[in-house]
Structure 1
Amino acid sequence: MADLLVVGLLFLGTLLVLYAIGVPIAVAMGFTSVIVMLSPYGGGAINYEVVSKQLLYGANSFTLLAVPFYLLLGRLMNRMGMTQRIFRLANALVGQFKGGIAHVNIVASMLFSGMSGIAIADASGLGRIEYAAMREQGYDKDISLGVTGASSIIGPIIPPSVPAIIYALLAGVSVGDLFLAGIVPGILLGLFLMATVVIIVHRRGYEPGNEFELDELWASLKGALTAILTPVIVVGGIISGVFSATEAGAIAIIYVLLIGVFQYGELTVAGIVDELRNGMVETFSLVFIVAAASLYGYVALQLRLPFLLTDAITSVTTNPVLIVCLLVVLLLIVGTFMETVAAISILVPVFMPILNTTGIDPTYFGIVMILTLMLGLLTPPFGVILFVLEKVTDATLEEVMRAIVPYYVPIILLLLLIMLQPKIALFVPSLG
């Protein structure tokens, strides 16, 4: 235990200090790796060949190629005005129920998940529209903020998902399986949030929304059909085995380009080039993190940190459910102050020996990890989505924090349910 504390303090403490003073996470991981190498525990010298190879091989992955595809896919679909079309469809589907616009908020986020896969993109893009729509229909500020923030975390769970790609790469599991594992939990999260909305709007006496109109449903469906077919193409191709998750991203981009140019007429050469440029910047940032995480993970293995942590945890309990609970508590703490991809990049190499030793399915745990870190994005003091909502709405940060609190309940309930019943996550992958 003493060795674990010393090594953990050197390995994680240095990283957290650098991160806390504002050093970018990829640079912080690189500096920490060098500092550990120079310490007595790391051999006292830098092996430049190892450093260069780990950085190179960490980024040289066919799986990682999926990241720029899905980032560009989301950008192109946003450029085409898919957000408004999806919101209109969601309104036609569930807007007639009591608390209708709040349900629209959630359903729109579920449909929007195929366009992004990143919670912050949902909160900043669709969130602005959702919040304004709820306020215009007389909803209180707190419920408008709470529903908008909570629904934004559905995107990274329902495929496609950038955090799922990064996890799959580092954990050595199939991206396709992890995509499929997120379908049922993502849908359940949407339903749990909608149930919470039903309770809140009933207690506050909100009136039903717009009357159901078949003509409006048909018109909005025609307008959004090509958008919602995008995730169908991705998931359907993966389930049928026609193409891999990486290939699905490329095919989806070709599909969206054709629709945007020939059907909508809203994609121009200049617009495509602009999205390519911005997508390249985002891709470089993520790939840099993964490359640095490869070096960081190598140093962790040299320090035997994963094995020391495994021994420490298994000395307390060997029950897989209790071990998952312990890891979730750690993730909840980390998720409050660290961005999702960074947390996955740092912790997956450390967790994998624990999962392998105790027989915990890494695909199932991937969903648990992503959902837990999504909850962290909504948790003070550093939850990123809280700051995003402050920027895109007229609310203060304190108002956003208070508004989110009731929506922790359905998220935590779903997390507990998946932890106790892994088959919820593994059901769809088992069909393949």
Structure 2
Amino acid sequence: MVTALFLTFAVLLILGAPVGIALGGASAVYLVGSDIDLAVVPQFMYAGMDSFVLLCIPGFVLAGNLMNGGGITDQIVLFSNRLVGHIRGGLGLANVTGSMVFAGISGTAVAETASIGAVMIPAMRKSGYDAPFAAAVTAAASTVGPIIPPSVPMIIVGTLTGLSVGKMFMAGAVPGLLLGLGMMLTVWILARVRNYPREPWQGFGALVRASRGAFWALLMTAIILFGIVGGYFTPTEASIVSAIYAFVIGLFVYKGFTLRQLPAILLESAIGSGGLILLVGLANVFGWILTSEQIPQAIAASMLALTTNKYLIILLINILLLIVGTFMETIAALIILFPPLLAVATQVGIDPIHFATFAVLNLMIGLTTPPVGVCLFVAANIAKISLGAITKAIWPFLLCNILILFLVSYIPALSLWLPNLLFR
């Protein structure tokens, strides 16, 4: 029945079914074929969703939607453009910079692609950039979101393993900055080679005015991080604080929405959060089946049978996750693969926080990797181009991101320095 499980899962994915449906459908086929009572489905779904840490997700999703509805995206883009727009390829650089700033609000790559892309892709096309490049920059830059805190995938990892979410948030800060800087360098090189335009320098006065507009967004990130590090609130409480803050700033400072629009924002956030948490529940059923069939143990044993060398194990894990990330949704992949791979990693002496950082970074790269990179579809839809066009344009950014991945994987200090400094 294991063959039927994986075959059903693969067929449903190929047919275009959402990952959650594919996980649930494959699990149902296995359970029926194995004559197991289907009552285990709601039991294990509830067990997967019954976590205090998962309450972070609705809070951060709501905060991101409130800030986006409140006009924060436009302010971030304006600030980024005033900061780096005068350099060759400036709008591309502003796109990446905006994603790095917006990362502290959204926590999810798809939300970032949609929000930043809706503003930047039309602006870049109007200024003379070709549409595939504009879409590729937007999709690639969005992967910074779940690395720079707060991070929904890091919250999922904390739920699965009991690792400190605060430490993982801090562990993602330096790799996230490296990822952003690497993509900015890639944009600058391509802009010089292709002679992309640059915006005229508006002067320090315009930069100061733009920074005032983005100040409240930057302050929100600071509140989240210093609140968690300082021990004033847990990550779950931080998500509620950020939602309240976003409501006050969006309504009274930016005035981007009214109380009449609030129900629609709440509904959108509920649907988005519900989809993520349902996926967690269905993935937990799938994960229970894998565990009962001892597939994670088989994966771990196979890896350790090949080698016990820490550096080769890191290479094997990265290759596996890069392949998985090309066709499986991030949260589902984490729930299914993270526990067995963590067992392998700790057995060869890899720090769990370090492992969590490069595993999440790896799967984020999968969001922009053909054939099923979700962010590619979102960016291509906004730019009104084919998936083939954006696939050709994304490769320089993928190569850059994979290089950063291997730096983070093999230099533990890049992810461990900050949490070790702040959490003694």
Query: TM-score w.r.t. structure 1 length?
Result: 0.91
Asked whether 1:119 is paired with 2:119, we answer no
Q: Deviations over 1:355-390 (max 9, x none)?
A: 343333232222222222222222222222222122
- CA distance, structure 2, for counterparts of residue 51 and residue 337 of structure 1: 24
Flag the 1:308–1:383 CA change in 2: closer, same or farther, 3 A: same
Question: Displacement, 1:340?
Answer: 1.8
Asked whether 1:345 is paired with 2:339, we answer no
Flag the 1:392–1:205 CA change in 2: closer, same or farther, 3 A: closer
Q: Paired residues, what number?
A: 422
Asked whether 1:405 is paired with 2:395, we answer yes
Q: What is the percent sequence identity of the aligned residues?
A: 38
- CA distance, structure 1, for counterparts of residue 257 and residue 199 of structure 2: 34
- CA distance, structure 2, for counterparts of residue 394 and residue 54 of structure 1: 41
2:283 counterpart residue number: 293
Asked whether 1:32 is paired with 2:26, we answer yes
1:135 counterpart residue number: 125
Task: Give the alignment partner of residue 88 of structure 1, picking from 55, 73, 78.
Answer: 78
Asked whether 1:247 is paired with 2:237, we answer yes
Residue range with higher mean Cα deviation, 288-297 or 150-159: 288-297
Question: Displacement, 1:265?
Answer: 2.8
2:10 counterpart residue number: 16
Residue range with higher mean Cα deviation, 86-95 or 324-333: 324-333
Question: Displacement, 1:14?
Answer: 3.6
Residue range with higher mean Cα deviation, 130-139 or 306-315: 130-139
Question: Displacement, 1:22?
Answer: 3.9
Residue range with higher mean Cα deviation, 338-347 or 403-412: 338-347
Flag the 1:207–1:23 CA change in 2: closer, same or farther, 3 A: closer
Residue range with higher mean Cα deviation, 336-345 or 136-145: 136-145
Question: Displacement, 1:198?
Answer: 2.2
- CA distance, structure 2, for counterparts of residue 197 and residue 48 of structure 1: 52
Q: In structure 2, what residue type is equivalent to 1:297? A: G
Q: In structure 2, what residue type is equivalent to 1:357? A: Q
Asked whether 1:275 is paired with 2:269, we answer no
SS at match of 1:235: helix
Unaligned runs of 5+ in 1: 1-5
Query: TM-score w.r.t. structure 2 length?
Result: 0.93
Unaligned runs of 5+ in 2: none
Q: Deviations over 1:190-211 (max 9, x none)?
A: 1111111222222233454321
Alignment check: 8 A CA contact 1:306 1:353 kept: no
Q: Deviations over 1:92-138 (max 9, x none)?
A: 11122222222111101101112211111122221132122222222
Asked whether 1:235 is paired with 2:225, we answer yes
SS at match of 2:178: helix
Alignment check: 8 A CA contact 2:135 2:380 kept: no
Asked whether 1:261 is paired with 2:251, we answer yes
1:3 counterpart residue number: none
Residue range with higher mean Cα deviation, 120-129 or 86-95: 120-129
Q: In structure 1, what residue type is equivalent to 2:93? A: H
Asked whether 1:223 is paired with 2:203, we answer no
Alignment check: 8 A CA contact 2:85 2:94 kept: yes
Alignment check: 8 A CA contact 2:88 2:197 kept: yes
2:46 counterpart residue number: 56
Asked whether 1:214 is paired with 2:208, we answer no
Flag the 1:353–1:49 CA change in 2: closer, same or farther, 3 A: farther
- CA distance, structure 2, for counterparts of residue 26 and residue 133 of structure 1: 35
RMSD of equivalent CA atoms? 2.1
- CA distance, structure 2, for counterparts of residue 207 and residue 284 of structure 1: 42
Alignment check: 8 A CA contact 1:297 1:349 kept: no
Flag the 1:221–1:413 CA change in 2: closer, same or farther, 3 A: same
